[in-house]
Amino acid sequence: MNVLMPQLGETVAEGTITKWYKAVGDSVAAGELLFDIETDKTAMEVPSMAAGVLREIRAQSGQTVAVGAVVAVLAQSGAASAAETAPRAPEKTPAPAATAEVSPARPPPTGTAGQQSPSAASPPVSPGTGRAIDPYHGLRTPEKNFGKAMLPNGARITPLARRLAAQTGIDLATLHGSGPRGRIVAADVRQARPAGGAVNASAPLASPEASFDQIKSLYTGTPYRELPVDGLRKTIARRLSEAKQQIPHFYLSSDLDVEALLRLRKEINETGANRVSVNDMLVKAYALALREVPEANVVWAGDRLLQLAHADIGVAVAIPGGLITPIVRQADTQSLSNLASELAGLIARARERKLQPSEYTGGSASVSNLGMYGVRSFQAIVNPPQATILAVGAAERRPVEAPDGTLRATTMLSVSLSVDHRAVDGATAGKLLAALRTLVEHPLRILL
Amino acid sequence: MAELTYREAVARGIAQEMARDENVVFLGEDVAKAGGVFKATVGLLEQFGPKRVLDTPISEQAILGAAMGAAMTGLRPIAEIMFADFIAVCYDYIANEFPKTRYMTNGQITMPLVVRCGNGGGARFGAQHSQSVENWCMQFPGLKVVAPSSPVDVVGLLAAAVRDPNPVVFLEHKSLYATKGEVPEGEIVDQLGIAKILRPGRDATILALGMMVSRALQAAQTLQSEHGIDCEVIDVRSLVPLDTQCILGSVARTGRVFTVEENPRQLGWGAELVSIIADESFYDLDGPLVRITTPNIPLPAADALEDLAIPSVSRIVDTIRRALSA
C-alpha cells in the first residue's frame, strides 16, 4: 500500500515532511503516527491508515513533495482481508463436486494466484466455480469477445456456444442449430466435438476460402507485390460475396435507341446553364420507370417486402481503391437539372470519400455505367437490400432495320437489368425494362 | 430436533439474541402485550420485561427514529414495521438516515439495528398490505436486505442481522408464518450474503426468494418428473450482500437462469441480478435470462386475482418449459 502526501486544504499543493516517527522495517498499527508535515498554512501529524510494516520511505524528513505523491510504502500484514479468507458457511447444501462434472468444457485454471495481482489473474471468463465479487461496487464485463452472435447465413449462436466453439476450434458454420428458432446452443457445439483434433485439422479446409499461405504457394517463383486490403476493400469483398451467393439473380437485357435522347440532351445543354449527362437522363428515366412499375420498386426484407413510395436510385461511382454507390433521393420527382447537380455533388464527395452513411444506404435500385470504357454490355451484382441494378453500356452507332424494311444507322445503347428474384419476378422486371425503353426512346417524357 | 413454525422461529431468534446480549431491545406496534399481530413475538414481553420489549404508538417514524437513537447510543434495537408496505411511511430513515450515518460520521457512529417487516402477498390483504418491497430497500448503499424462507433461516439470519454493525432490513414473509420446519436446538447463527442451493440441477438455475422458494422447488420437481428438465434451485436469502460466488457458479454449470419474483416486474430484485449475470457471466449463458414475476400491477385483494398475479407453480413450470424448448 502506498502512503500518500495528504491534501491539507483546498489550495495547498505541496507539503514538507518534518519528521518520521517510524523507520524502514518498523511495524505500524493503524492510527499510529507515521510522520509530521508542514505547509505554508498548517502543520499536522499524519497517522497510518492501515497496519503493516514500513517497507520504504521515499520522501525523507525535510523534503517537500506534491499532494498525492507517494511518500512511503507500507506492506500490509495479512493482506487478504477477512472477507476473502473467511470460510464458507458449513451448512451449504450443494454437492459442488458432483455438479461440477456436468461441465466438462471448463478449462482448468492456469498459473498460481500468488504470482499475479488478483485482478490480473482473474480470467475474463468464469472458471467452474463462481467468483466472489462485490456486485454493487464493480463488475467485470468480459473483455474477450468470442465472435459474432449471428453467422453470415443468419444462424444465431448463444454466448456459451460461441465461447465453447472458440475454445475448441469448432467452425460454427458447419453446425446445425437445435435450439429455439434454430439457435446454435452449447449442446450442438459439445456434440460436434468428439472428433477432437480431427475437427481442428479439417477446419481450414472446410472454409470456402483458401488460406493466404495456400494461395501464396501457387505463385512461388513469380514476382509479385503484396497490397494491403483496407476496410473499403474488405466491405466490398464481403458484401458482394454475400450478394452473389445469397441473392438469386436473373438478368434481362435490351437495346435502347438513344438517338432522340442524345438530341434532347444537346438542346438542353445548348440552352440551359446546367449541363446534363446521358447518365443523369438514364437515372431519371429509370426512376420514372420504377414509379410506373411500383411492384418492382421494392426491397427484400427477410420475411416481407418493403414497397418504397419514391424511387431512390443508387449510382455506382468508381473511387480510388474501390467503388461506392451514393443514392439520389426521390429521383422520380426531382427535375432533371436538380438531379444532375445533386448527382455531380454526390460523385465529387464520393471521390473524396466524404459521404455520410446516410448518403449511400437505402434505395431500391442502382445504375452502373461502364459505357465510357467502351463496354457494350455487362451484368452487375445487385446491391442489397436493393432489388435491381441497371448496367449501362456504351452508346454506339449500329445499323438497324427501319419499319419500312430499309437499313438505317442509329445510336443504340445496351442495358442489362440484374434482378433479385426473391423480390421481383421476370414478368415484372420485363415490364420495368419496357417502361424504361419507352421513356428513353420518347425522352420528352423524362422532362414531364 | 424440534419442528417450529416460521412465526415461532421469529420469537425464538429474537429471544436468542436478547438473552445473549442485554443491549438488544425490541420495539414495535402491538409487539409486546399482544405478541404481534401475526403472533410472531409471543412471550418476549414476559421473558424480557417491559424495559426491553416495548409497545409503541402507531407511528412508523417514531419507531424507526427511536431505534436509530438507540443504535447511536449503544443499544442493538430490533424494530418491527408491521406490514413491509409501511416502510414508505418512514422511508427517510431507510433511505437517508440508517445507511448513511456510519459513512457521514467517518465510522464514529455505527447503526447496528434490524428492521423486521411482514412482507409479501398471498393473504388477501390488498394492494397496500401485500407488497414485496425488497427492491425498495436494496438500492441504498449501506443498507443490507435479507429475506428468509424457512424457520431455521429466520433464526440464523436474524441472529446474523442483530450482530451486524450495519442496518439490516429483515423481510419475513407473511404467508410463511404458519409454515413449519426443523430447527436444531441451541444457538443458531447464520451469515449474511450466503445463498443456499436447495436442489442441485444441471439444465437451468432458478433464483427465488421468500415465498417463491417453495414454489420454485415444487416447480423443479414437476419439471424433472414430467418434462425431464433438471433445475437447480437457489434460495438467494440475502440480496445485500449478494452471494455472487454461489449464483455465478451455478450459472456457469447450467447456462440458463430464471428468477422467480413476487414483486411487480418493474425494477424487481431479479432485474438487478440478471443485470449482474449478464455482465459477469455473458459467455456462460446458453439462452436469454428470464424473469418470472408478478405483472406490473397493484396486488388485487380478491383471492382468485391475487393467485393469478403472483407467480404460481404452474406458471413457473410453463415458463421454464417453454423457454427451454420453444
Domain termination site, one of B183, B205, B236: B183
Model pTM score: 0.55
CB of B205 closer than 8 Å to CB of B251: yes
Under DSSP, is residue B180 helix (H, G, I), strand (E, B) or coil? strand
Which residue among B232, B255, B280 sits closest to A160, beta carbon to beta carbon? B255
Split at pLDDT 50, 70, 90, the class of A141 is low
Pick the catalytic residue from A137, A249, A421, A442.
Answer: A421
Domain termination site, one of B137, B152, B183: B183
Q: Are residues B288 and B233 part of one domain?
A: yes
Helix H or strand E segment including B181: strand B180-183
Least confident of A210-224, A279-293, B219-233, B240-254: A210-224
Least confident of A218-232, A290-304, B207-221: A218-232
- The pLDDT score that the predictor gives to residue B83 is 97
Which residue among A98, A130, A183 sits closest to B244, beta carbon to beta carbon? A130
Q: What is the CATH number of the domain that holds B25?
A: 3.40.50.970
What are B33-84's pLDDT values in tens digits? 999 999 999 999 999 999 999 999 999 999 999 999 999 999 999 999 999 9
CB of B29 closer than 8 Å to CB of B63: yes
What are A1-38's pLDDT values in tens digits? 888 888 766 667 788 898 999 999 999 988 888 998 88
Whether residue A93 is predicted with pLDDT greater than 70 in this model: the reply is: no
What are B178-202's pLDDT values in tens digits? 999 999 999 999 999 999 999 999 9
What are B210-224's pLDDT values in tens digits? 999 999 999 999 999
Section A381-407 average pLDDT: 92
Whether residue A139 is predicted with pLDDT greater than 70 in this model: the reply is: no
Q: Are residues B158 and B35 part of one domain?
A: yes
Whether residue A89 is predicted with pLDDT greater than 50 in this model: the reply is: no
Q: Which CATH architecture has domain A2-76?
A: Beta Barrel (2.40)
What are A297-319's pLDDT values in tens digits? 999 888 889 999 999 999 999 98
What are A167-178's pLDDT values in tens digits? 888 888 888 888
Split at pLDDT 50, 70, 90, the class of A143 is low
Q: What is the CATH number of the domain that holds B235?
A: 3.40.50.920
CATH node for A148-206: 4.10.320.10
B239 lies in some domain: yes
In the numeric block, which cell numbers belong to residue A189?
Answer: 457445439
Q: Are residues B120 and B7 part of one domain?
A: yes
Which residue among A129, A133, A186 sits closest to B286, beta carbon to beta carbon? A186
Whether residue B274 is predicted with pLDDT greater than 80 in this model: the reply is: yes
Q: Are residues B202 and B100 part of one domain?
A: no
Determine the Cα–Cα distance for residues A436 and A431; give it in Å rounded to an integer: 9
Cα dihedral sign, B153-B184-B189-B43: positive
Mean predicted lDDT score pLDDT of chain B: 96
Whether residue A102 is predicted with pLDDT greater than 80 in this model: the reply is: no
Catalytic annotation on A442?
Answer: no
In the numeric block, which cell numbers belong to residue A194?
Answer: 468428439
Q: Are residues B255 and B135 part of one domain?
A: no
B191 lies in some domain: no
Q: Are residues B22 and B140 part of one domain?
A: yes
Q: Are residues B26 and B109 part of one domain?
A: yes
Determine the Cα–Cα distance for residues A434 and A289; give it in Å rounded to an integer: 8
B190 lies in some domain: no
Proportion of chain A above pLDDT 90, given as a percent: 39
Q: B290 contacts in A (CB within 8 Å)?
A: none
For residue B71, which of B11, B133, B16, B115 has the smallest C-alpha distance?
Answer: B115
Q: In terms of residue numbers, what domain contains B79?
A: 2-183
Based on the number of CB atoms within 10 Å of its own CB, is A219 exposed (0-12), middle (13-18) or buried (19 or more)?
A: exposed
Is 3.30.559.10 the CATH classification of the domain at A239-447? yes
Determine the Cα–Cα distance for residues A155 and A173; give it in Å rounded to an integer: 8
Largest CA distance in chain A: 118
Proportion of chain A above pLDDT 70, given as a percent: 80
Whether residue A114 is predicted with pLDDT greater than 60 in this model: the reply is: no
Q: Where are the alpha helices (DSSP H) in chain B?
A: 6-20, 44-48, 60-72, 91-92, 98-104, 134-137, 151-163, 212-227, 244-254, 269-280, 303-309, 313-325
Q: Where are the alpha helices (DSSP H) in A93-196?
A: 96-100, 118-121, 159-168, 186-192
Determine the Cα–Cα distance for residues B92 and B42; give it in Å rounded to an integer: 30
Q: Are residues B240 and B172 part of one domain?
A: no
B29 lies in some domain: yes
Whether residue A266 is predicted with pLDDT greater than 50 in this model: the reply is: yes
Q: Are residues B19 and B95 part of one domain?
A: yes
- The pLDDT score that the predictor gives to residue A148 is 81
- The pLDDT score that the predictor gives to residue A104 is 36
CB of B264 closer than 8 Å to CB of B294: yes
Strand A313-315 and strand A365-369: the pairing is parallel
Split at pLDDT 50, 70, 90, the class of A220 is confident
Determine the Cα–Cα distance for residues B101 and B116; give it in Å rounded to an integer: 20
Q: Are residues B62 and B13 part of one domain?
A: yes
Task: Decide if B282 and A142 are in contact by the 8 Å CB cutoff.
Answer: yes
B45 lies in some domain: yes
Based on the number of CB atoms within 10 Å of its own CB, is B100 exposed (0-12), middle (13-18) or buried (19 or more)?
A: middle
Q: Are residues B146 and B51 part of one domain?
A: yes
DSSP A388: E
Whether residue A132 is predicted with pLDDT greater than 70 in this model: the reply is: no
CA distance A143 to chain B (A): 10
ipTM of the complex: 0.74
Section A409-425 average pLDDT: 95
- The pLDDT score that the predictor gives to residue B313 is 98
What are A319-363's pLDDT values in tens digits? 888 889 999 999 999 999 999 999 999 999 988 888 888 888 888
Whether residue A87 is predicted with pLDDT greater than 80 in this model: the reply is: no
CB of A339 closer than 8 Å to CB of A252: no
What are B80-113's pLDDT values in tens digits? 999 999 999 999 999 999 999 999 999 999 999 9
- Residue B283 forms contact with A (CB below 8 Å): yes
Whether residue A96 is predicted with pLDDT greater than 80 in this model: the reply is: no
CA distance A103 to chain B (A): 6
B189 lies in some domain: no
Domain termination site, one of B135, B160, B183: B183
Q: Are residues B129 and B9 part of one domain?
A: yes
B188 lies in some domain: no
* Domain spans in chain A, listed from the N-terminal domain onward: 2-76, 148-206, 239-447
Whether residue A291 is predicted with pLDDT greater than 90 in this model: the reply is: yes
Task: Decide if B253 and A161 are in contact by the 8 Å CB cutoff.
Answer: no
Whether residue A105 is predicted with pLDDT greater than 60 in this model: the reply is: no
Whether residue A119 is predicted with pLDDT greater than 60 in this model: the reply is: no
**Integer CA distances (angstroms), B308 to A284, B293, B295, in order:** 62, 11, 10
- Residue B325 forms contact with A (CB below 8 Å): yes
Split at pLDDT 50, 70, 90, the class of A150 is confident
Q: Which residue of A has its CA nearest to B244?
A: A132
CB of B157 closer than 8 Å to CB of B148: yes
Highest mean pLDDT among A154-163, A237-246, B210-219: B210-219
